[in-house]
Structure 1
Amino acid sequence: MNMKRTFGAILTILGIVGIIWGAYAFVMGGDGAAIGKYTAVVPFIVGLIFFFAGINLVKTTKDQT
Protein backbone atom coordinates (compact mmCIF):
# COMPACT_ATOMS: atom_id res chain seq x y z
CA MET A 1 0.00 0.00 0.00
CA ASN A 2 1.51 3.29 -1.01
CA MET A 3 1.46 6.64 0.76
CA LYS A 4 -1.36 8.22 -1.28
CA ARG A 5 -3.76 5.36 -0.55
CA THR A 6 -2.91 5.50 3.15
CA PHE A 7 -3.54 9.25 3.21
CA GLY A 8 -6.80 8.69 1.33
CA ALA A 9 -7.91 6.13 3.91
CA ILE A 10 -7.08 8.54 6.74
CA LEU A 11 -9.03 11.33 5.03
CA THR A 12 -11.99 8.99 4.56
CA ILE A 13 -12.01 8.00 8.23
CA LEU A 14 -11.73 11.65 9.32
CA GLY A 15 -14.59 12.48 6.96
CA ILE A 16 -16.80 9.80 8.49
CA VAL A 17 -16.02 11.13 11.97
CA GLY A 18 -16.80 14.69 10.85
CA ILE A 19 -20.09 13.66 9.26
CA ILE A 20 -21.18 11.80 12.40
CA TRP A 21 -20.08 14.65 14.68
CA GLY A 22 -21.83 17.29 12.57
CA ALA A 23 -25.05 15.29 12.33
CA TYR A 24 -25.04 14.61 16.08
CA ALA A 25 -24.36 18.29 16.89
CA PHE A 26 -27.13 19.38 14.54
CA VAL A 27 -29.67 17.00 16.07
CA MET A 28 -28.70 17.99 19.63
CA GLY A 29 -29.01 21.70 18.83
CA GLY A 30 -25.29 22.53 18.84
CA ASP A 31 -22.44 21.47 21.08
CA GLY A 32 -19.57 23.16 22.91
CA ALA A 33 -17.81 24.30 19.75
CA ALA A 34 -20.98 25.29 17.89
CA ILE A 35 -23.42 27.68 19.52
CA GLY A 36 -26.50 27.14 17.40
CA LYS A 37 -28.04 24.51 15.22
CA TYR A 38 -26.90 26.01 11.94
CA THR A 39 -23.28 26.51 12.97
CA ALA A 40 -23.19 22.78 13.75
CA VAL A 41 -23.47 22.20 10.01
CA VAL A 42 -19.83 23.31 9.55
CA PRO A 43 -18.22 20.05 10.79
CA PHE A 44 -20.72 18.14 8.63
CA ILE A 45 -19.65 20.01 5.49
CA VAL A 46 -15.94 19.66 6.31
CA GLY A 47 -16.53 15.95 6.93
CA LEU A 48 -18.19 15.62 3.52
CA ILE A 49 -15.23 17.33 1.85
CA PHE A 50 -12.74 15.05 3.63
CA PHE A 51 -14.82 11.96 2.90
CA PHE A 52 -15.16 12.57 -0.83
CA ALA A 53 -11.54 13.70 -1.18
CA GLY A 54 -10.35 10.52 0.54
CA ILE A 55 -12.57 8.27 -1.56
CA ASN A 56 -11.41 9.99 -4.73
CA LEU A 57 -7.75 9.66 -3.71
CA VAL A 58 -8.12 5.94 -3.02
CA LYS A 59 -10.00 5.33 -6.28
CA THR A 60 -7.62 7.22 -8.58
CA THR A 61 -4.32 5.98 -7.13
CA LYS A 62 -2.81 3.10 -9.06
CA ASP A 63 -1.25 0.13 -7.28
CA GLN A 64 2.52 -0.08 -7.38
CA THR A 65 3.89 -3.46 -8.41
Structure 2
Amino acid sequence: MNQKRTFGSLLTLLGIAGIIYGALGLIGMANLSKINSAVPLGVGLVFFFAGISLVRATGDRA
Protein backbone atom coordinates (compact mmCIF):
# COMPACT_ATOMS: atom_id res chain seq x y z
CA MET A 1 0.00 0.00 0.00
CA ASN A 2 1.25 3.44 -0.86
CA GLN A 3 2.48 5.65 1.99
CA LYS A 4 0.54 8.67 0.74
CA ARG A 5 -2.68 6.67 0.64
CA THR A 6 -2.03 5.30 4.14
CA PHE A 7 -1.33 8.78 5.50
CA GLY A 8 -4.46 10.09 3.78
CA SER A 9 -6.52 7.34 5.40
CA LEU A 10 -5.03 8.19 8.79
CA LEU A 11 -5.81 11.89 8.32
CA THR A 12 -9.35 11.01 7.30
CA LEU A 13 -9.90 8.88 10.41
CA LEU A 14 -8.45 11.58 12.68
CA GLY A 15 -10.68 14.12 10.96
CA ILE A 16 -13.77 12.01 11.57
CA ALA A 17 -12.82 11.69 15.26
CA GLY A 18 -12.32 15.46 15.53
CA ILE A 19 -15.62 16.19 13.82
CA ILE A 20 -17.47 13.82 16.15
CA TYR A 21 -15.78 15.27 19.25
CA GLY A 22 -16.51 18.84 18.15
CA ALA A 23 -20.12 18.01 17.34
CA LEU A 24 -20.57 16.38 20.74
CA GLY A 25 -19.18 19.55 22.31
CA LEU A 26 -21.65 21.67 20.36
CA ILE A 27 -24.65 19.71 21.58
CA GLY A 28 -23.33 19.62 25.14
CA MET A 29 -22.46 15.94 25.52
CA ALA A 30 -18.67 16.48 25.71
CA ASN A 31 -16.95 18.44 28.44
CA LEU A 32 -16.50 21.54 26.22
CA SER A 33 -18.19 24.89 25.93
CA LYS A 34 -19.80 25.82 22.65
CA ILE A 35 -16.99 28.21 21.75
CA ASN A 36 -14.23 25.74 22.67
CA SER A 37 -15.84 22.98 20.62
CA ALA A 38 -15.17 24.97 17.45
CA VAL A 39 -11.45 24.16 17.65
CA PRO A 40 -11.67 20.35 17.37
CA LEU A 41 -14.47 20.73 14.85
CA GLY A 42 -12.38 23.03 12.64
CA VAL A 43 -9.24 20.91 12.94
CA GLY A 44 -11.29 17.79 12.24
CA LEU A 45 -12.72 19.34 9.09
CA VAL A 46 -9.26 20.35 7.88
CA PHE A 47 -7.86 16.86 8.56
CA PHE A 48 -10.87 15.19 6.95
CA PHE A 49 -10.76 17.14 3.71
CA ALA A 50 -6.96 16.96 3.51
CA GLY A 51 -7.10 13.19 3.93
CA ILE A 52 -9.86 12.74 1.38
CA SER A 53 -8.04 14.86 -1.20
CA LEU A 54 -4.77 13.02 -0.55
CA VAL A 55 -6.43 9.64 -1.08
CA ARG A 56 -8.16 10.82 -4.23
CA ALA A 57 -5.04 12.42 -5.72
CA THR A 58 -2.85 9.35 -5.17
CA GLY A 59 -3.12 6.96 -8.09
CA ASP A 60 -3.06 3.19 -7.80
CA ARG A 61 -0.15 1.30 -9.23
CA ALA A 62 -0.58 -2.27 -10.33
State the TM-score, normalized to the length of structure 1. 0.86
Taking the aligned partners of 1:29 and 1:63, their CA distance within structure 2 comes to 41
Q: Where does residue 25 of structure 2 map in the other structure?
A: 25
Runs of 4+ off more than 6 Å: none
Give the length in aligned residue pairs: 62
On the 8 A contact 1:29/1:37 being kept in 2, the answer is: no
Q: 1:64 Cα deviation (Å)? A: 2.2
Q: 1:56 Cα deviation (Å)? A: 0.2
Identity of aligned residues (%): 53
User: Structure 1 residue 5 and structure 2 residue 13: aligned?
Assistant: no
5+ unaligned residues in a row in structure 1: which ranges?
none
5+ unaligned residues in a row in structure 2: which ranges?
none
Taking the aligned partners of 1:29 and 1:14, their CA distance within structure 2 comes to 20
RMSD: 1.4
Q: Where does residue 41 of structure 1 map in the other structure?
A: 38
On the 8 A contact 1:30/1:39 being kept in 2, the answer is: no
Q: 1:37 Cα deviation (Å)? A: 1.1
Q: 1:30 Cα deviation (Å)? A: 5.7
State the TM-score, normalized to the length of structure 2. 0.90
